[in-house]
Amino acid sequence: MTKSSGLRRRWTNNEIVVFPTLILAEKLSPTALRLWIALAQFANDDRQCWPSRRRLLDMLPPGTAKASLRRARAELEAADLLRVEYRTDERTGRDTTPLYSLLIPTGEGDETVPPEGDHPVPLVGDHTVLPLNLGDEPLHKEGDHLSKVFDAWLLSTGRNAARTKLDDKRRRLITKALDGYPVEDVLDAVVGWQHDPFYRGDNDRGKTYNDLGLLLRDAEHIERFRDMARAGATRSSRKPKAWATLERLAQEA
């Protein structure tokens, strides 16, 4: 008996994603199969979702390249297991996250279009468990809000998106903040530092203080930076860098 190469633990119910077993019989590359399952985690009752590319890459094995993700997406489209609608923001004209529609293989005698209605729900003990991808819409919105907050912080700080990871620590920080405050408050909190010279680097150390761990450390910090954003935007007609994009993120939330 060989030892596991890493620590393992039992799964919890909210980590289970339900998908049709016929997908396992498809001749797909490992990355394409993983991508289909990752998209299934976000899919609503219409089997549609719109996660960001960064969010999908975070779910795939470390080191997965953007080019690999594009090839996997094209592979699923060619296999008629995924339809992708490329979209642009009507207000800015910029590309936004694609709309993904998941398709499933059909077995002999199956309908080409899967019927709508009740979904199979697994039994755990004496209780029925609704998996993440079949949950209510607020669950999907919560994940979308988390990504919006992270993107707003990246944009306001000018960090390299390709080299700045939404790791577990940052995810917990944002999730905790969203548990206590509306998404609009959290979006303001991660950009409010721009309105104070001290946090922008006008201090004796010449250092910029805009780490996510500081901005969302606790209720006091969240409210302080939120109020900075709102008071600063009111006092000054000059908006910080990329403010128009940050306002769009807040409106989309």
Q: Which residues contact 65 (CB under 8 A, 6 or more apart)?
A: none
Closest CA to 228 of 174, 236, 21: 236
The pTM assigned to this predicted structure is 0.43
Q: Judge contact between 185 and 229, C-beta under 8 A.
A: no
Residue 213 corresponds to which amino acid?
G
Q: Please state, in angstroms and rounded to a whole number, the distance separating the CA atoms of residues 231 and 5.
A: 53
pLDDT along the chain (253 residues), means of 10: 56 65 87 91 85 89 91 93 85 81 69 42 39 42 76 89 87 90 92 91 89 93 93 57 54 55
3-state secondary structure of 82: strand
Query: In CATH, which of 3.40.1000.10, 1.10.620.20, 1.10.10.2120, 1.10.10.10 is domain 13-110+120-129?
Result: 1.10.10.10
pLDDT at 130: 40
Cα gap 219→67, rounded to integer Å? 40
Tokens, residue 8: 């393992």
Q: Tokens at residue 147, please?
A: 């990504």
The predicted structure's pLDDT at residue 10: 66
The domain ranges of the chain are 13-110+120-129, 137-252
Cβ 161 vs Cβ 154: under 8 Å? yes
**Could you give the 3-state DSSP secondary structure of residue 17?**
coil
